[in-house]
Structure 1
Amino acid sequence: MRFVDFLLFPFALTYDGITSLRNRMFDAGLKRSQPFEVPTIVVGNLAVGGTGKTPFVEFLINHLSSTFNLAILSRGYGRKTTGYRLAQGDSSPSEIGDEPFQIYSKFKDKVTVAVGEERILAIPMILAENPEVEAIVLDDAFQHRYLLADLNILLTTYKSPFFNDYLLPVGRLREGRKNVNRADMIVVTKCPDNMEQQEKDSFKGKVSTYLQAEKPIFFAGLKYGLPYPINPEFPNPVNKFILVTGIVDPEPIRLKLEAMQKVVVETMAFPDHHYYTPKDMGRINDIYKKYSAQSVCILTTEKDAVKLKDNKLLELIKNIPVFVLPVEVDMEQKEEEQLLKSIKSMIINKNAESEI
């Protein structure tokens, strides 16, 4: 621990007391958790952001939407609206949030996408407008205990696992480590390529220390696709990039690019869920001019791209090559099949029970 962490420790104890009391009230039935007839799947974490929830939700969409009619429900963090919103053709990142807008942009022909802070109010509204929905995936709802989910999937990263982290404000945990017990399965995300079985077993042992019962533990990495242009006038990326991101941790992207023999000449790291401004576009232009003689291009994430595509902002960077780096979850086939089999079985069984 850093010295400043000792100064913050009393605040972490207070935070722990508040979150523990809240959880005990739900466990004792003093606060009610609402179940629903439609199967509900929560994708969440113990930490504040950065565990790869959006790529994992997209992974579920890719593997489940051909079998089930899915809806995706998010709080819509960072949006400039409140209350329930159903994503539609005229929706924007400022209305529904950058990550829900990203999902809607990519999968609007496959799934229903909605946002709402109060999930137990939003779910009936989704079903009223889309009664054909067979399962709802809730992004970042592990702490939303007013919902009694049918399946809780907890994500924790390889680099910063929950068992090495601390409660806010000392660390990044929203609640104590022991609350991993509410999960039905744990997925370790952002794992390195070719992770050895011995290391997986060691990781499982450390996770299991906090479990009261055996839970399945899976391992997932990230797989990056070929960068594609925002502006079609620049069809091909070069091998030198200025990395522009508004995510929790751009370091894994930089390391992955370097492993692919790409050069990152500079990183512009904005806060997570950052909404870009004309001033930001000016900064991007200035950085690009600094390296333009080296034949560089701007590289950003899909989450950032949905905001940069705003016509007013895009006009300000129309003369520089901006590329988007797609990313998706990558799992070993055996683990992927086991995870998806468990999820599909739950959905099928729950829907069968509802029909009786």
Structure 2
Amino acid sequence: MKLLRFLLFPVMPFYFVVTWLRNVLYDYGFKKSKSYDFPLLCVGNLSAGGTGKTPMVEYLIRVLKDDFKIATLSRGYGRETEVFVLGTPKDTAKTLGDEPFQFYSKFSKDIQVAVDANRQNGIAELRGVLSKPEVIILDDAFQHRKVTAGLNILLTTYSNLYYKDCVLPTGNLREPRVGAKRANIIVVTKCPKDITDGEKAKIVKEISPEVHQTVFFSTIVYSEMVFSDAESRGLKQLPKFTLVTGIANASPLVAFLNAEGLAFKHLEFKDHYSFTATDIKSFEAEELLLTTEKDFMRLKNNERLKHKLFYLPIEAQIDNSENFNNLITAFVAKY
């Protein structure tokens, strides 16, 4: 992969110019973007996946759901449907996509979950339902410039900070680094638990936030329990198991499990991987399967795996969370 990216280096300037020019056209009004008179929060990144958007969306849901009618709107990557879908008990990962189905499975009693590749249409559809949401959280929409969110939350991982990266295909950035200026909040995600104040200060200095921007740091907190549809078990009490992942970057999870001294082998697939009948058959030979919550959404309906398939929940933990939460609630309260 590194060799291929090196060979594709001559393509990078063209990708840079195209994405930079697109943003300039939006910034100066040559391409139209729609604004809204209600709270619209966008969670996104500059990098191509793996920055922790799903835990961040869930964090925002927990902050707001008790006081406001919330909806999430995602593209629904990998789903088999193409039009706007508002989540119902009949839906699965195939109709909503794995991440939106995860939101629905956990929060359907408190929020609405919708998918639409056309975010303008998705917003219009959500605002047209009988019990319309007061707040919409846009999942992975930082590059969706046809919609202007009132608050943009940009995520960048501690291990691959956007200001040290370059655009695709040689780097991982979806657009040039200058695009970070559109963010109101920048969160450095997946930080080590022992990150020092000095290291945080150095990162903030290198980010060099604009006047309108605030920088926060977050870590991933892993549950002490694993869950299936039928039961829960203590993570440390698990016998030897097979870890199955279809996410952008499984390294932090693997490192955590190794640090816990657990015995496992790892079957790694690409992000949003659609597991085949052959894959499922091979999983049947394993004694115990552990996966991420997102992957669980795509595997849970396989009857042959139900007795051996568990997932490990994670949550985002934000340093200075009180200040972060106040920024979110103050933004929503303005409306």
Q: Note if contact 2:165-2:172 (Cα within 8 Å) is conserved in structure 1.
A: yes
Matched, 1:327 2:302: no
Deviation at 1:161, TM superposition (A): 1.1
Work out the CA distance in 1 between the residues paired with 2:293 and 2:131: 30
Q: Note if contact 2:126-2:132 (Cα within 8 Å) is conserved in structure 1.
A: no
Q: Which residue of 2 aligns with 1:354?
A: none
Work out the CA distance in 2 between the residues paired with 1:220 and 1:149: 22
- Aligned pairs, how many? 333
- DSSP-derived class of the 1:79 partner: coil
Work out the CA distance in 2 between the residues paired with 1:3 and 1:247: 22
Q: Which residue of 2 aligns with 1:102?
A: 102
Work out the CA distance in 1 between the residues paired with 2:310 and 2:50: 22
Q: Note if contact 2:55-2:315 (Cα within 8 Å) is conserved in structure 1.
A: yes
Uncovered stretches (5+) of structure 2, i.e. residues with no partner: none
* 1:128-147 equivalence runs, <5 A: 128-147=128-147
When residues 234 and 22 of structure 1 are mapped into structure 2, their CA distance, relative to the original with a 3 A threshold, is: closer
Deviation at 1:166, TM superposition (A): 1.6
Return the index of the structure with the highest Cα Rg.
Answer: 1
Q: Note if contact 2:73-2:115 (Cα within 8 Å) is conserved in structure 1.
A: yes
When residues 79 and 2 of structure 1 are mapped into structure 2, their CA distance, relative to the original with a 3 A threshold, is: closer
Uncovered stretches (5+) of structure 1, i.e. residues with no partner: 352-356
Q: Which residue of 1 aligns with 2:331?
A: 346
TM-score by length of 1: 0.89
Letter in 1 for 2:225: P
Matched, 1:261 2:261: yes
Please list the CA deviations of residues 275-321 of structure 1 after superposition, one character each: whole Å capped at 9, or x if unmatched.
222211122233x2xxx5xxxx32101111111111xx2x22355x2
Q: Structure 2 residue aligned with 1:300, among 291, 295, 311?
A: 291
Letter in 1 for 2:24: R
Q: Which residue of 1 aligns with 2:89?
A: 89
Please list the CA deviations of residues 86-119 of structure 1 after superposition, one character each: whole Å capped at 9, or x if unmatched.
0111011111100000100000001111001111
When residues 88 and 9 of structure 1 are mapped into structure 2, their CA distance, relative to the original with a 3 A threshold, is: same
Work out the CA distance in 1 between the residues paired with 2:44 and 2:233: 37
Q: Which residue of 2 aligns with 1:279?
A: 278
* 1:61-210 equivalence runs, <5 A: 61-208=61-208
Letter in 2 for 1:21: L
Report the identity percentage: 40
Work out the CA distance in 2 between the residues paired with 1:244 and 1:167: 29
When residues 285 and 139 of structure 1 are mapped into structure 2, their CA distance, relative to the original with a 3 A threshold, is: same
Work out the CA distance in 2 between the residues paired with 1:74 and 1:228: 26
Q: Note if contact 1:70-1:135 (Cα within 8 Å) is conserved in structure 2.
A: yes
Q: Which residue of 1 aligns with 2:321?
A: 336
Measured on the aligned residues, the alpha-carbon RMSD in Å equals: 1.9
* 1:215-294 equivalence runs, <5 A: 215-230=213-228, 232=230, 238-263=238-263, 265-286=264-285, 288=286
Deviation at 1:3, TM superposition (A): 5.8
